[in-house]
C-alpha cells in the first residue's frame, strides 16, 4: 500500500510556511478552522487571521476587500459552501474585478462520506469554472497540494483549490514540481488516455495497471489545473492514443469531462468516455461505498477505457 | 485560455505614492458652496440618465448631500491619484446609484465632466452599475446588493493591519438592508471593533415595490444597528451641517463602527420624482428632463 497523507494538513502547514515568508498573507475561515486546517495559521498569526463565523457570504466579500487593499487572502470553508452558498459574492466581489483572493475549499466530492448530500460538493467545479478569470486547481495528493498552494500564493488573480476530506495515497514524491496550467504524464501508453484529477488520479493509475493485465497499454494524465486547462496536452493525447476517458469526483456536467470534451470537439475529435457522477445526488455512506455506488472506481475506468477503444476501432 | 493580464486591476500596493506632507497639497479641497455643488450633481444625474434612457434617478438624488459632504469636506482623496495608498475609501454598496457617484467623481476631477453623458453606452467607462475595473475612483464593483459592507470591512481590516490611518465609508440603501449579508457584516464590523469604518444608510423609505414598511419592515432601523454594536447617529440626510457633524463625530468614536442613518427623500430636488417609487429605476423622458433641469436651476 502506498503511503497516505492528508491534503488538508498539507494545506494548513503550507499556509504557515507562506505566512512566515510574506506578511501580506491573511487567512479567513467560516467557523471550520479545525476541519479546513486553517487552525495552524490562526494559532501562529492570530492578528492576520479572521474567523468570520458561520457567514460564508460575508467571508468572501471581506476577503475581496482585503485583496483590494493589497493583502493576499486565503479563505476557506467546505466546497459545498464556497462556491455554492456564496456564488454571487464570488462573482461580483472577486471574479469580475479580478481580485487576488485564494479560495481553498475542502471536503470536495463524494469522499466526504457519511455526512451525506448536504456536505458532498459535486457541482462546485462547474460553478467556479463558469466564472471568467478564475484559476481552478484540484490536487491529486498532499505533495501536489503543497505545491499548488504555493503556486496560487504567487499567482496574481482569483484562484480556487479543491481539496478532499480523507487521507489519500501519495502519487508523487517530494521532488515533484507542480506547474500551473500544465498536465502531468503519470504513465505513458498508446491505446487510450485516462485524464484524471484529484482523488481519481490514484484510481486511474490502478485502472491502467489492471488494463495492462488485459493487454491494453493505457496512458494516464493528471490534470491538476482544471482552468485554464492544458489544451495542448489534451490534443496531444487525443492525437497519439485516439481514445480519451476522463475521471473526476464531480458531476458529469461542467467539470473535467465537459472541459476536456470541449477541447476535443474543437481540435481533435476522438471518442471520449466520462467517469463522473451522473445527474443525481448521492447519500450517506462510507467513501469507498459511495465511490462504488456512483461509478467512480478503477473498474468503472477500465470499462470506460474498453468502451472508448471499441468506439475508436469502429470509426 | 483567458489572459489575466488583459484585465486592468487597480493597484493598491503600498509602493504607490504615500501621504507625505509634500504631496498633501494635492488632496482634494474646495471652499465652494456645498449647495451649489449638490445642485450641479443633481443636474448631471438627471441629464445623464435622461440621455442614457435608463438608470436609477431616485436613489441617486436622495444621496447627493451625503456624498457631497464626504467628497468635498470629510474624505482625504486625490483625484489625480485614485490609487493613493492613504486615501479614505468610499464604497457605493447601493450600486444602482452609480450616476450619483460618477457625477461626484467627474466634478472632483477623476475624469472629464463631458464623459458623464456616455453613461451606459457601449465601451463607456461609466457602466450601468459601478465597475471597479472600468472607472477611476470606483473602489468596488457593485449592483448586486448587500456586499459593500463586507467589502468595506476587508478594507478597514487591511488599513488597521498596516497601521494606515485611512477611513472607510460605505453607503447602503435602506431597502438593501433586507439582504441578510448586511447583518452578517453588521455583526462582524462590531466584533472587530472597526472604528475606522463609517456606514451610511440612505433612508429614503422606498424600494422598487413600494414603501419599506409595506414591502419588508425595517423599523426600528437605528435600534437594530445599535443592538448589533454600532454607534448610531440619525440625521436629516439633506442637511449639510448635520451630516458634517455626524461624520466628524464618527471620527472620534473609539472601539466600534458608526452607522449614520440619513433620513432622505427619494428623488430629492425634482418635484415629480420625490417620494415616487416608480422613479427608482426609470429615466425621465425629454419633457420630464426639461422640467427637472428647470427646477434645478
**Which tens digit of pLDDT belongs to each residue from B27-39?**
898 888 999 999 9
Q: Is residue A179 part of a domain?
A: no
pLDDT for B26: 81
Give the closest-approach CA distance of A65 to chain B in angstroms. 4
> Do A232 and A153 share a structural domain?
no
User: Mean per-residue pLDDT for B125-142?
Assistant: 97
The CATH number assigned to the domain holding A206 equals: 3.40.50.920
Task: List, for residues B47-85, the tens digit of each pLDDT value.
Answer: 999 999 999 999 999 999 999 999 999 999 999 999 999
* Chain B residue with minimum CA distance to A66: B154
Q: Is residue A174 part of a domain?
A: no
CA angle B259, A85, B183 (to 5 degrees): 15
Task: List, for residues B171-186, the tens digit of each pLDDT value.
Answer: 999 999 999 999 999 9
Q: Is residue A117 part of a domain?
A: yes
* Chain B residue with minimum CA distance to A96: B141
Q: Spell out which residues of chain B touch residue A100, defining contact as CB-CB under 8 Å.
A: 9
B139 touching A (Cβ < 8 Å):
yes
Q: Is the pLDDT of residue A229 over 90?
A: yes
CA angle B205, B209, B211 (to 5 degrees): 25
A223 touching B (Cβ < 8 Å):
no
**What is the domain count for chain A?**
2
The band of A1, judged by pLDDT with boundaries at 50, 70 and 90, is low
pLDDT for B22: 44
Tell me whether residues B188 and A156 touch, CB distance under 8 A. no
Sign of CA dihedral A26, B92, B115, B81: negative
Q: What is the pTM of this model?
A: 0.94
> Do A202 and A133 share a structural domain?
no
Range of the domain at A108: 4-169
Q: Which one of A68, A75, A262 makes the best mutation probe of the B interface by having the most chain B beta carbons within 10 Å?
A: A68
Average pLDDT, chain A: 97
Percent of chain B with pLDDT over 90: 89
User: Mean per-residue pLDDT for A144-161?
Assistant: 98
Q: Is residue A175 part of a domain?
A: no
* CA distances (Å), origin B221, targets B145, B169, B218: 18, 19, 5
> Do A196 and A160 share a structural domain?
no
Percent of chain A with pLDDT over 70: 100
> Do A164 and A58 share a structural domain?
yes
> Do A213 and A141 share a structural domain?
no
Percent of chain A with pLDDT over 90: 99
> Do A94 and A165 share a structural domain?
yes
**DSSP annotation string for A183-234:** -EEEE--SSEEEEE-TTHHHHHHHHHHHHHHTT--EEEEE--EEES--HHHH
Q: Is residue A223 part of a domain?
A: yes
Task: List, for residues A36-79, the tens digit of each pLDDT value.
Answer: 999 999 999 999 999 999 999 999 999 999 999 999 999 999 99
> Do A234 and A128 share a structural domain?
no
The band of A130, judged by pLDDT with boundaries at 50, 70 and 90, is very high
* Chain B residue with minimum CA distance to A226: B1
> Do A39 and A160 share a structural domain?
yes
Would residue A56 show up in a list of annotated catalytic residues for this protein?
A: yes
B180 touching A (Cβ < 8 Å):
yes
* CA distances (Å), origin B157, targets A32, A97, B176: 21, 20, 23
Beta-strand relationship, B258-263 and B197-203: parallel
| Separation between Cα atoms, residue B148 and residue B209, nearest integer Å | 22
Chain A, chain B: beta-carbon pairs less than 8 Å apart: 128
| Separation between Cα atoms, residue A21 and residue B243, nearest integer Å | 45
Of A66, A89, A156, the CB nearest to B147: A89
Q: Is the pLDDT of residue A278 over 60?
A: yes
> Do A154 and A8 share a structural domain?
yes
Q: Is residue A8 part of a domain?
A: yes
Quickly tell me which residue has 448586486 as its cell: B144
Q: Is residue A240 part of a domain?
A: yes
Give the closest-approach CA distance of B203 to chain A in angstroms. 23
Tell me whether residues A93 and B187 touch, CB distance under 8 A. no
Of A97, A132, A156, the CB nearest to B2: A132
Last residue of a domain, one of A144, A169, A194: A169
Tell me whether residues A66 and B155 touch, CB distance under 8 A. yes
Q: Is the pLDDT of residue B4 over 50?
A: no
CB contact at 8 A, B275 and B212: no
B284 touching A (Cβ < 8 Å):
no
Task: List, for residues A10-43, the tens digit of each pLDDT value.
Answer: 999 999 999 999 999 999 999 999 999 999 999 9
What domains can be seen in chain B, in order of their start residue? 34-295 (3.40.50.970)
Last residue of a domain, one of A169, A192, A211: A169
Put simply, the chain B residues between 142 and 161 with a CB less than 8 A from any chain A CB are 142-144, 146-148, 150-159, 161
ipTM: 0.96
Q: Spell out which residues of chain A touch residue B141, defining contact as CB-CB under 8 Å.
A: 92-93, 96-97
pLDDT for A2: 73
Sign of CA dihedral B41, B43, B45, B48: negative
pLDDT for B30: 86
Q: Is residue A39 part of a domain?
A: yes
pLDDT for B15: 39
> Do A225 and A110 share a structural domain?
no
> Do A194 and A141 share a structural domain?
no
Q: Spell out which residues of chain A touch residue B86, defining contact as CB-CB under 8 Å.
A: none
> Among the options A3, A13, A17, A56, which is catalytic?
A56
A306 touching B (Cβ < 8 Å):
no
Of A61, A71, A231, the CB nearest to B158: A71
Q: Spell out which residues of chain B touch residue A231, defining contact as CB-CB under 8 Å.
A: 1
Last residue of a domain, one of A112, A138, A169: A169
The CATH number assigned to the domain holding A111 equals: 3.40.50.970
Q: Spell out which residues of chain A touch residue B2, defining contact as CB-CB under 8 Å.
A: 132-133, 228
User: Mean per-residue pLDDT for B97-113?
Assistant: 98
User: Which of A160, A139, A141 lies closest to A76, judged by CA?
Assistant: A160
Q: Which one of A62, A132, A226 makes the best mutation probe of the B interface by having the most chain B beta carbons within 10 Å?
A: A62
User: Mean per-residue pLDDT for B210-224?
Assistant: 96
> Do A89 and A60 share a structural domain?
yes
Amino acid at each position: 500500500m502506498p503511503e497516505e497523507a492528508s491534503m488538508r494538513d498539507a494545506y494548513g502547514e503550507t499556509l504557515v510556511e507562506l505566512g512566515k515568508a510574506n506578511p501580506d498573507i491573511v487567512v479567513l475561515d467560516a467557523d471550520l478552522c479545525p476541519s479546513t486546517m486553517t487552525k495552524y495559521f490562526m494559532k501562529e498569526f492570530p492578528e492576520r487571521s479572521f474567523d468570520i463565523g458561520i457567514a460564508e457570504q460575508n467571508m468572501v466579500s471581506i476577503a475581496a476587500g482585503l485583496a483590494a487593499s493589497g493583502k493576499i487572502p486565503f479563505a476557506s470553508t467546505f466546497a459545498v459552501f464556497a462556491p455554492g452558498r456564496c456564488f454571487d459574492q464570488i462573482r461580483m466581489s472577486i471574479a469580475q474585478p479580478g481580485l487576488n483572493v485564494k479560495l481553498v475549499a475542502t471536503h470536495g466530492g463524494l469522499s466526504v462520506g457519511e455526512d451525506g448530500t448536504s456536505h458532498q460538493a459535486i457541482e462546485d467545479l462547474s460553478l467556479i469554472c463558469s466564472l471568467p478569470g478564475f484559476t481552478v486547481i484540484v490536487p491529486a495528493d498532499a505533495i501536489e497540494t503543497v505545491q499548488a498552494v504555493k503556486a496560487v500564493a504567487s499567482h496574481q488573480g482569483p484562484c480556487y483549490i479543491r481539496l478532499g476530506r480523507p487521507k489519500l495515497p501519495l502519487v508523487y514524491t517530494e521532488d515533484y514540481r507542480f506547474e500551473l496550467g500544465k498536465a502531468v504524464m503519470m504513465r505513458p501508453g498508446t491505446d487510450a488516455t485516462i485524464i484524471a484529477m484529484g482523488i481519481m488520479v490514484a484510481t486511474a493509475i490502478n485502472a491502467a495497471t489492471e488494463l495492462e493485465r488485459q493487454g491494453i497499454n493505457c496512458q494516464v494524465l493528471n490534470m491538476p489545473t482544471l482552468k485554464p486547462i492544458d489544451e495542448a496536452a489534451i490534443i496531444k493525447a487525443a492525437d497519439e492514443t485516439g481514445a480519451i476517458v476522463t475521471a473526476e469526483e464531480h458531476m458529469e456536467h461542467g467539470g473535467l469531462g465537459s472541459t476536456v470534451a470541449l477541447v476535443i470537439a474543437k481540435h481533435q475529435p476522438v471518442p471520449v468516455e466520462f467517469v463522473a457522477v451522473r445527474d443525481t445526488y448521492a447519500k450517506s455512506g462510507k467513501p469507498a461505498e459511495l465511490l462504488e455506488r456512483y461509478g467512480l472506481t478503477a473498474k468503472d475506468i477500465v470499462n470506460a477505457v474498453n468502451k472508448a477503444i471499441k468506439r475508436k476501432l469502429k470509426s | 485560455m483567458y489572459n489575466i493580464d488583459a484585465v486592468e486591476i487597480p493597484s493598491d500596493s503600498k509602493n504607490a505614492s504615500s501621504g507625505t506632507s509634500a504631496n498633501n497639497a494635492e488632496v482634494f479641497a474646495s471652499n465652494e458652496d456645498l449647495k451649489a455643488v449638490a445642485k450641479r450633481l443633481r443636474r448631471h444625474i438627471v441629464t445623464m440618465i435622461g440621455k442614457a434612457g435608463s438608470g436609477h434617478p431616485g436613489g441617486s438624488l436622495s444621496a447627493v448631500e451625503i456624498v457631497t459632504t464626504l467628497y468635498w469636506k470629510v474624505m482625504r482623496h486625490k483625484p489625480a491619484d485614485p490609487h493613493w495608498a492613504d486615501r479614505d475609501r468610499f464604497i457605493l454598496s447601493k450600486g444602482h446609484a452609480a450616476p450619483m457617484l460618477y457625477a461626484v467623481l467627474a466634478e472632483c476631477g477623476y475624469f472629464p465632466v463631458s464623459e458623464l453623458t456616455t453613461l451606459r453606452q457601449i465601451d463607456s467607462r461609466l457602466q450601468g452599475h459601478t465597475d471597479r475595473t472600468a472607472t477611476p475612483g470606483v473602489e468596488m464593483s457593485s449592483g448586486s446588493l448587500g456586499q459593500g459592507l463586507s467589502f468595506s470591512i476587508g478594507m478597514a481590516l487591511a488599513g488597521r493591519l498596516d497601521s494606515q490611518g485611512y477611513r472607510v465609508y460605505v453607503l447602503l440603501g435602506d431597502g438593501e438592508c433586507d439582504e441578510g449579508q448586511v447583518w452578517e457584516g453588521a455583526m462582524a464590523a462590531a466584533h472587530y471593533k472597526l472604528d475606522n469604518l463609517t456606514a451610511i444608510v440612505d433612508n429614503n423609505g422606498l424600494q422598487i415595490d413600494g414603501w419599506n414598511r409595506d414591502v419588508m419592515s425595517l423599523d426600528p432601523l437605528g435600534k437594530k444597528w445599535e443592538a448589533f454594536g454600532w454607534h448610531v447617529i440619525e440625521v436629516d440626510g439633506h442637511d449639510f451641517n448635520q451630516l458634517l457633524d455626524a461624520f466628524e463625530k464618527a471620527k472620534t468614536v473609539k472601539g466600534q463602527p458608526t452607522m449614520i442613518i440619513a433620513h432622505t427623500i427619494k428623488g430629492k430636488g425634482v418635484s415629480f420624482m420625490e417620494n415616487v417609487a416608480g422613479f427608482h429605476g426609470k429615466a425621465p423622458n425629454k419633457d420630464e428632463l426639461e422640467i427637472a433641469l428647470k427646477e434645478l436651476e
